[in-house]
């Protein structure tokens, strides 16, 4: 018997959720036949059969979380094991060892979660009260889930409805925000840009991208990666801007690479294509990696200023709020001008307040040029 294990799907992603099986136990399959669709933090990925054979068992059901390296399918085949395929590996091995490891930053796999520590009586109580033990953790200082834990969960469920575990993009976002909170020392600087002289057809996002690229040249410490473990700062030559994109599934941050050397029309076409791919959940994982600085244009929805969250190893993120008409003093007179609110959050471990202020000044200077 041979086991096909969930492969690294391209970016070191630690886990995937089974979306849909296209085979079942007992099927005879051919190499490259569609086997299963899984959802990672980045996209929905189709995994083909690695070779001809008969399906003996499937390890996981729709909605289950499987870690990289854990078995997906058991095959019976007369073919020689070639050691791997495009997306994974076939191994002649016992299943048990594959499910005993722990991956930092990953949710417990559904296979691991079935081993919740509780007594038979507590499991029976949970079944009677319709409480999912996999969603409970023991009380502080306790090693096992007890009857009180189950009864409290049942009461919450009756009062407020069932809690739903975050999956896919939202789970990844939650972990990234927690990592940022634990590691980054954030400071936020806020200022306004007068954009009253812009042409009415100005593309706000592209204009911001152009200004960010120029500001990075004035203050390169903000276009960098910082390693908090070694306290090392890597200044980066290219400006690769992550663009925060809101979706029903959660927050995506596709990356526009080398923005300082590409025409704005090309960048706009690239961003539009990435937005379309996000909507279809088909964006390549490579297009979600490598950002050196991030832009959150939340002002397309609502809000003036914010303290946007930095995702390590990046050092800075720019927030753009809703442009507004405002009465301002100009040449000793009062005028109504179009004002764009800006927020810059930076990691104070890697950049000084002066460097951040110079970045903001350069950003505003470029935005205020007609």
Query: Which 3-state string (H, E, C) describes 23-88?
Result: CCCCCEECCCCEEEEEECCCCEEEEECCCCEEEEEECCCCCCEEECCCEEEEEECCCCCCCCCCCC
Q: What is the mean pLDDT of residues 98-117?
A: 44
Residues 181-206 pLDDT 10s: 888 899 999 999 999 999 999 999 99
Q: 316: phi > 0 → left, psi -120 to 50 → alpha, else beta; which?
A: beta
Task: Judge whether residue 112 has pLDDT over 60.
Answer: no
The alpha-carbon radius of gyration of the chain (Å, integer) is: 25
CA within 13 Å, CB half, 238:
12
Secondary structure string (H, E, C) spanning 244-258:
CEEECCEEECCEECC
Angle between helices 204-218 and 353-367 (to 10 degrees): 140
Using 50, 70 and 90 to split pLDDT, how confident is the model at 96? very low
What is the per-residue pLDDT for 85? 41
- In the chain, the domains with their CATH numbers are 2-111 (2.40.50.100), 117-160 (4.10.320.10), 171-367 (3.30.559.10)
> What's the rounded Cα separation, in Å, for the pair 323 and 320?
9
Q: Which one, of 56, 64, 71, 77, lies nearest residue 101 by Cα?
A: 71
Using 50, 70 and 90 to split pLDDT, how confident is the model at 104? very low
Structure tokens at 352: 């000084």
Q: Could you tell me which residues come within 8 angstroms of residue 318 by beta carbon, excluding any fewer than 6 positions away? A: 208, 212, 293, 294, 295, 296, 308, 342, 343, 344, 363
CA 36, 37, 39: angle at the middle one, nearest 5? Answer: 140
What is the per-residue pLDDT for 92? 47
Structure tokens at 4: 């096909």
Q: What is the mean pLDDT of residues 47-68?
A: 86
Using 50, 70 and 90 to split pLDDT, how confident is the model at 180? confident
Q: Could you tell me which residues come within 8 angstroms of residue 30 by beta carbon, excluding any fewer than 6 positions away? A: 49, 52
Q: What is the mean pLDDT of residues 253-277?
A: 90
SS3 of 295, please?
Answer: strand
> What's the rounded Cα separation, in Å, for the pair 60 and 48?
16
Query: Strand 71-76 to strand 65-67: parallel, antiparallel, or no bridges (unpaired)?
Result: unpaired
Q: What is the mean pLDDT of residues 306-328?
A: 93
Q: What is the mean pLDDT of residues 332-359?
A: 95
């Amino acid at each position: 018997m041979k086991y096909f294990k969930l492969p690294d799907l391209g970016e070191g992603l630690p886990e995937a959720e089974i979306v849909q099986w296209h085979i079942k136990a007992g099927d005879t399959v051919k190499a490259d036949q569609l086997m299963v669709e899984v959802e990672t933090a980045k996209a929905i990925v189709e995994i083909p059969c690695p070779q001809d054979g008969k399906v003996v068992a499937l390890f996981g059901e729709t909605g289950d979380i499987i870690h990289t390296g854990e078995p997906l399918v058991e095959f019976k085949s007369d073919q020689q094991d070639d050691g791997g395929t495009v997306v994974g590996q076939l191994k002649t091995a016992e299943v048990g060892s594959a499910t005993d490891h722990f991956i930092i930053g990953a949710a417990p796999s559904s296979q691991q979660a079935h081993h919740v520590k509780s007594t038979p009586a507590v499991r029976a109580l949970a079944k009677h009260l319709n409480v999912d033990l996999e969603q409970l953790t023991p009380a502080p200082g306790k090693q096992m889930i007890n009857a009180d834990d189950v009864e409290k969960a049942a009461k919450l469920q009756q009062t407020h409805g069932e809690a739903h575990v975050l999956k896919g993009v939202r789970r990844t976002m939650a972990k990234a925000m927690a990592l940022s909170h634990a590691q980054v020392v954030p400071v936020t600087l806020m200022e306004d840009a007068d954009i009253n002289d812009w042409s009415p057809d100005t593309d706000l996002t592209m204009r911001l991208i152009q200004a960010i690229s120029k500001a990075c040249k004035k203050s390169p410490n903000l276009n960098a990666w910082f390693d908090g473990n070694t306290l090392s700062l890597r200044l980066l030559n290219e400006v690769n801007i992550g663009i925060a994109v809101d979706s029903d599934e959660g927050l995506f941050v596709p990356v526009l690479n080398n923005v300082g050397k590409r025409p704005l029309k090309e960048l706009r076409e690239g961003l539009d294509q990435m937005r379309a791919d996000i909507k279809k959940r088909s964006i390549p994982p490579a297009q979600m990696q490598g950002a050196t600085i991030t832009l959150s244009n939340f002002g397309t929805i609502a809000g003036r200023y914010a303290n946007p969250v930095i995702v390590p190893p990046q050092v800075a993120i720019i927030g753009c709020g809703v442009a507004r008409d405002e009465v301002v003093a100009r040449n000793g007179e009062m005028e109504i001008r179009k004002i764009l609110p800006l927020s810059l959050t930076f990691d104070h471990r890697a950049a000084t307040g002066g460097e951040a202020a110079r970045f903001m000044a350069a950003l505003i200077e470029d935005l205020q040029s007609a």
